[in-house]
Amino acid sequence: HGSTALGIAVEGQSLVIEVDGPAANFTGIERKPANEQEKQELARVLNVLRDGAALFLTPPGAQCRLQSAAVSPPEYGSDGHADLEAFWEFRCGSPAALTWVEAKLFTAFPGTQRVATSVVTAAGQKAVVLTPGTTRVLLPQ
């Protein structure tokens, strides 16, 4: 199990969020799905990841709306391990009000315990670690 990485970038009205981590952190399965139940769980995980608006909350005043989502199914190597990658782009009507992003990854994926987060905005950069008890990232203003 490795750490899941979260990238958050704000440029103008665009909020881009990217997640990369071991598939096992999301599916609870440390190898390629072997039966119908495991295949259904992987399909469920991919569907949950596509709904970026439910996974990432922003201040209501920022008026951020999900524009696109891209989720790459895991490619399992010979050792059975694979990474999951997902990418979301939001358009924010009032980007000045975008002061934080809250990640619901721990609720959606209980196997995720630690998320190394990097943030880049016009005002600066920062790195934080999210945990089930700390899910909100304050953005540089």
Nearest to 96 by CA among 125, 121, 73: 121
- What are the distances in angstroms from CA 111 to CA 9, 27, 72, 82, 107? 25, 8, 19, 15, 9
pTM, two decimals, is 0.94
Q: What is the pLDDT of residue 80?
A: 77
In this prediction, residue 29 has a pLDDT band, given cuts at 50, 70 and 90, of confident
Buried b (16+ CB within 10 A) or exposed e, 27-47: bebeebbeeeeeeebbeebbe
Do the bridges between strand 56-57 and strand 100-103 make them parallel or antiparallel, or are there none, so unpaired?
antiparallel
- pLDDT tens figures, 78-97: 887 899 999 999 999 999 99
- pLDDT tens figures, 100-112: 999 999 999 998 9
